[in-house]
Amino acid sequence: MATAIYVEFDVVGVYILAILIWQLKKNVNQRTSRIWFAHMVYCLMITILADILWILVDGQSFSGSEVLNQISNMVYYSFAVVSVGLWMNYVCTRIWEDFPRKGSAFLMAPAIFSFLLCMASLSTGWIFEIDQNNYYYRGKYFWITIGIGLAYYIASFIVILIHVLTTKNQKAKQEMTRLFVFFVLPTAGIVSELLVDEMPGPWPTAAISLAMVFMLEQNAEVLTDGLTGVNNRKLLERVFPELVNEVSEDNRLYMFMMDLDRFKTINDNFGHSVGDEALVESSMILKNIAFSKSMLTIRYGGDEFLILGFLKNDAEALEYKKDIISMFEAWNEEHARPYMLGASVGYSEYLQGWSVEEWIRHADRELYREKKRRQRNNKGEEYV
């Protein structure tokens, strides 16, 4: 009876992960964080399948049962730790989209070490061993894999918590707060495994948690541009009333509208895939400059972007415009690309009584004037 309940829990986890994999394959989001998320889903499914195999063969005496018991334990412990390591990478790339590959490799090093220990346990019994009656027992170094897995789990929680407490960007704070959902059910699963014999523990509950995180992210992506990962026009309509309510004499609301310089030339000369790369890189530049002032970045359409937020006065707005241009110049100096990135920038302060459409029209008018001014100063050169 206990075995049947154990298997049922695990089968539910596999079923949830199978649906999640199906949804991930349909999803066009190919950001680095989503790739780490998908890897974790696959690893977690392998972990649960190995757990099902173990409970079915442990203590059995049919032909090949001992080999299956060895393999199921090796796979279970190996992929369990790798799964939590992948979650840690997912968290880091969700917070820092430019998180370096070397950083990801460093984060996975303990999981790889644990994987090798589990492989070696087939002959050494360090992590697990199977007795002559085909029963599983923990090895003398069992605590190493458990310690690595818990370290990943706790560290990822702490990283999220620190980011939520320190970031000034309210949207980023809300996005990361959603990730706390992941920890609730697996923690309950760990406790139940310690208190009740023959309970499958955290893995089926982790499957449910991943599905919940995915659904929350899908809802958020309705307000997110699929290519660049920045906010889309729908978010502007949603947050506009909230922004207007916060306007005061010392807290003035500005919109910076910009389009990329010579973006058509990049597409014509290098193709649309390189053009998409330029859009993604430009959005990262804009997100970084927006983050410095706790402002919102929005892809308005095509190569047009908006930055919205509060500044003290027109002088600060003018300086901010110069900072945007300088950020593109600094990027060009630091990165060797066959194209140069730049942006024309116009800005407009929100005036009481304007609709969002009126505000956009004024910012667009200022952008047009800026492009004309640059053309005059640069002998008619086109910035399209």
Strands 128-130 and 296-301, bridge-based pairing: unpaired
Sequence letter at residue 108: M
- Position 338 scores a pLDDT of 86
pLDDT for res 226? 72
- Predicted confidence at residue 381, as pLDDT, reads 58
Model confidence pLDDT, tens digit, residues 62-103: 999 999 999 999 999 999 999 999 999 999 998 887 788 889
pLDDT at 196: 62
Which pLDDT does position 1 carry in this prediction?
A: 52
pTM higher than 0.85, yes or no? no
In order of their start, the domains of the chain are 2-221 (1.20.1070.10), 233-377 (3.30.70.270)
* Positions in the chain short of pLDDT 70: 1-2, 27-30, 168-171, 193-200, 220-222, 379-384
